[in-house]
């Protein structure tokens, strides 16, 4: 068999952080990190036929999207690639208590636990926004889907800086005012919102995370 | 709650691998392959200023191949591809085999894709062809590459390295189903 001549030096000496899933590197992606043309998030979660279990948030298998026909279930199955297209409001139950509307496509790929390991790799990949592209956090009436409240972050202009702060401020603003959570069309009162980062939960938000 | 997905972009790795072709999901294009653990392994080789770098066969890895970096995958395609798009390669060794996933997205930055021949003996660049990815997308690159590599295979003069004088092996396209006998033999070889 013909073998192309390659250099003998360890790859680590040529390319920094060449494998995003390496133990030494993966921790850099626990939040979201832009590298080149994409933004990457890698979560260590238990991923098996039983679902996707986050060590802090619990079962986060239930993902939903909001389209022209209403709310649909798009569970993130192990060993499935799911693409949430740009502009589609989406939410992962118990993971973030708002609808995220990304101007860029998002890819999810839950890789099952490697043999002998308790946690697999839950990959989130999205394109890096530029110019006027950004992220919106929104809340729709849980009963009739009327838009109640939203906050936008111009990620293409400001980068990831302030992205989580924007969602946090949006959550707090929304939770602080029952009028923002009350549907002007049907009068339904939405549950409290919560942030993506569960470490920031207030006791009330922690309770909300357990519910929806 | 309704049952119909918004834009049914769900790709189980096993069925996608069985289909074998590239998929377009809005701006992303993606491909999934599955090998038996006993198959000659797909290995990513990248060209860097220091030379050709072979990615180790870790049971699980995710590699961002930065835009502009020539790369190829042994037994999957040869010669090299150098795209304006970042290419993401994911390898997952599981009980039923080894999954290989390639992902890339179009964007305003993505204008060209290139087929590049490097001498596998001395690393000298032996030629390149440029593809208009901006108007034709990322998946249409593969038929372009096949056409160009067949012209290369058919030209004994082009296959001789002007630096070291050695002959470049024959090349093969992405889709093994389209292989001619010489391409199939080359695919098995390197």
Percent helix, strand, coil in chain A, to 5, is 20, 35, 45
* Closest approach of A206 to chain B, Cα-based (Å): 25
Work out the pLDDT band at B3, boundaries 50, 70, 90: low
Q: Which pair of tokens denotes residue A32? A: 């979201």
| Interchain contact, B9 vs A36, CB within 8 Å | no
pLDDT tens-digit profile of B27-77?
A: 999 999 999 999 999 999 999 999 999 999 999 999 999 999 999 999 999
Q: Which residue of B has its CA nearest to A143?
A: B1
Q: For residue A72, list chain B residues with Cβ-Cβ distance below 8 A.
A: 1-6
Residues 19-48 of A with CB under 8 A from B: 19-22, 35-38, 40, 42
Q: How far is CA A138 from CA A89, A90, A131, A147, B64, in A?
A: 8, 10, 21, 7, 32
| Range list of β-strands (E), chain A | 33-35, 38-48, 51-54, 58-59, 63-67, 70-73, 80-84, 90-92, 99-102, 106-111, 120-127, 135-140, 147-153
B144 min Cα distance to partner chain A (Å):
24
Asked if B64 lies within 8 A of A72 by C-beta distance, the reply is no
Q: How many CB atoms lie within 10 A of CB B97?
A: 18
Set of chain A residues whose Cβ sits within 8 Å of the Cβ of B88 = 38, 125
Q: Residues for chain A: how many in total?
A: 212
Does residue B51 belong to the interface with chain A, where contact is any CB pair within 8 Å?
Answer: yes
Give contacts of A 95-114 with B, CB under 8 A.
Answer: 104-105, 107, 109, 111-112, 114
pLDDT given at position A8: 85
Structure-token pair, residue B82: 């150098």
- Name the residue in chain A with its Cα closest to that of B186: A2
Q: How far is A79 from chain B (nearest CA, A)?
A: 6
Shortest CA distance from A88: residue in chain B: B6
Exposure b/e, B71-91, CB count within 10 A at least 16 = b: bbbbbbbbbbbbbbbbbbbbb
Per-position pLDDT tens, chain A of length 212: 888 999 988 898 899 999 999 999 999 999 999 999 999 999 999 999 989 999 999 999 999 999 888 999 998 999 999 999 999 999 999 999 999 999 999 999 999 999 899 999 999 999 999 999 999 999 999 999 999 999 999 999 999 889 999 999 999 999 999 999 999 999 999 999 999 999 989 999 999 999 99
Which 120-159 residues of chain A touch chain B by CB within 8 A?
A: 121, 123, 125, 127, 130
- Of A203, A202, A178, A200, whose CA–CA distance to A190 is shortest? A178
Q: With a cut of 80, say whether residue B156 has pLDDT above it.
A: yes
Residue A168, chain B, CB below 8 Å: the answer is: no
Is the Cβ of B103 closer than 8 Å to some Cβ of chain A?
yes
Q: Of the candidates A127, A124, A210, A82, which has an alpha carbon nearest to the alpha carbon of residue B11? A: A82
Nearest neighbour of B6 by CB, restricted to A5, A9, A88 = A88
Ordered strands of the A147-153 beta sheet: A70-73, A63-67, A90-92, A99-102, A135-140, A147-153
How many helices and strands, by DSSP H and E, does chain B display? 4, 12
| Nearest C-alpha in A relative to B78 | A4
In this complex, the residue of A4, A112, A127 whose CB is nearest that of residue B45 is A4
Q: What pTM does this model have?
A: 0.94
Residues 127-156 of B with CB under 8 A from A: none
């Amino acid at each position: 068999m013909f073998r192309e001549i390659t250099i003998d030096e360890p790859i680590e000496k040529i390319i920094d952080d060449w494998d995003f899933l390496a133990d030494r590197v993966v921790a850099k992606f626990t939040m979201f990190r832009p590298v080149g043309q994409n933004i990457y998030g890698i979560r260590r979660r238990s991923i098996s036929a039983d679902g996707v279990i986050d060590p802090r948030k619990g079962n986060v298998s239930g993902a939903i999207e909001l389209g022209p026909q209403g709310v649909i279930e798009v569970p993130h199955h192990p060993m499935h690639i799911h693409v949430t297209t740009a502009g589609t409001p989406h939410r992962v139950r118990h993971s973030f208590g708002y609808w995220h509307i990304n101007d860029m496509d998002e890819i999810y790929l839950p890789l099952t636990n490697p043999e002998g390991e308790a946690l697999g790799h839950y990959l989130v990949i999205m394109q890096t926004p530029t110019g006027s592209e950004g992220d919106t956090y929104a809340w729709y009436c849980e009963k009739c889907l009327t838009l109640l409240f939203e906050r936008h972050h111009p990620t293409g202009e400001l980068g990831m800086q302030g992205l989580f702060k924007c969602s946090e401020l949006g959550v707090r603003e929304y939770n602080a005012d029952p009028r923002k959570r009350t549907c002007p069309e049907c009068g339904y009162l939405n549950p409290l919102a919560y942030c993506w980062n569960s470490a920031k939960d207030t006791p009330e938000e922690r309770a909300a995370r357990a519910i929806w | 709650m309704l049952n119909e997905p918004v834009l049914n972009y769900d790709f189980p790795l096993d069925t996608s691998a069985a289909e074998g072709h590239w998929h377009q999901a809005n701006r992303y294009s993606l491909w999934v392959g599955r090998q038996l653990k006993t198959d000659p392994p797909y290995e990513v080789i990248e060209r860097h200023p220091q030379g050709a770098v072979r990615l180790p066969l870790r049971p699980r890895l995710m590699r961002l191949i930065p835009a502009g970096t020539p790369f190829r995958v042994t037994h999957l395609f040869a010669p090299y591809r150098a795209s304006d798009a970042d290419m993401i390669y994911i390898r997952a060794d599981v009980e039923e085999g080894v999954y290989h996933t390639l992902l890339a997205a179009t964007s305003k930055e993505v204008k060209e894709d290139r087929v590049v021949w490097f001498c596998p003996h001395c690393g000298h660049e032996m030629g390149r062809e440029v593809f208009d990815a901006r108007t034709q997308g990322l998946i249409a690159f593969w038929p372009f590459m096949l056409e160009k590599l067949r012209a290369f295979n058919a030209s004994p003069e082009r296959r001789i390295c002007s630096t070291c004088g050695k002959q470049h092996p024959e090349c093969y396209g992405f889709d093994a189903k389209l292989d001619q006998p010489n391409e199939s033999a080359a695919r098995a070889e390197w």
